[in-house]
């Protein structure tokens, strides 16, 4: 009887080790959460601005753990500007001009660069809004979708 118990216990330990995956231990810290959003914004002088935003960390993380990378590429622009690449930190703000319970992400690049404001429409959609946290009239055209 003791041998069966010993074998069953050993089997459970082996299975628990396999469930953790190769090269990991059950007590290993999880990697920071990441979310990537992409979309094409309208452009007066070109065919659109492809925006790619990678957010690292989550809303409960410490401020220094919430980082982002943003890349903007202009389609068929007559002046052929280079891609814009920014990295920095993001903050969680509460409320917009018309929605006091809304969640807004403020992306502040390191060094020079524009601060971006995104309204969290739902778990899969961010929408570019103005610095006064107001939505634009063409709001559907300013949305990024989570990949």
- Mean pLDDT for 86-98 is 95
Q: Which of 49, 65, 69 is nearest to 57 (CA)?
A: 65
> By mean pLDDT, which of 14-23, 63-72, 115-124 is the weakest?
14-23
Which secondary-structure segment (H or E) carries 100? none
Distance of alpha carbon 94 from alpha carbon 81, whole angstroms: 34
Spell out the domain ranges in the chain: 1-29, 31-146
Summarize the confidence of residues 90-108 as an average pLDDT: 95
CATH architecture of the domain covering 31-146: Beta Barrel (2.40)
**Which whole number is the average pLDDT over 125-135?**
97
Task: Residue 146: name the closest of 37, 68, 39, 70 by CA.
Answer: 37
């Amino acid at each position: 009887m003791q041998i069966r118990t010993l074998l069953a216990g050993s089997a459970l330990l082996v299975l628990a080790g396999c469930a953790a995956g190769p090269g990991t231990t059950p007590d290993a810290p999880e990697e920071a959460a990441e979310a990537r959003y992409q979309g094409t914004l309208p452009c007066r002088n070109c065919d659109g601005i492809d925006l790619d935003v990678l957010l690292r960390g989550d809303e409960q993380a410490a401020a220094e753990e919430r980082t982002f990378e943003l890349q903007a590429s202009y389609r068929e622009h007559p002046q052929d500007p280079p891609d814009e690449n920014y990295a920095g930190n993001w903050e969680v703000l509460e409320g917009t001009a018309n929605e006091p319970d809304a969640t807004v992400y403020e992306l502040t690049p390191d060094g020079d660069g524009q601060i971006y404001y995104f309204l969290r429409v739902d778990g899969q959609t961010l929408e570019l809004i103005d610095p006064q946290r107001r939505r634009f009239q063409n709001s559907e055209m300013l949305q990024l979708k989570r990949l």
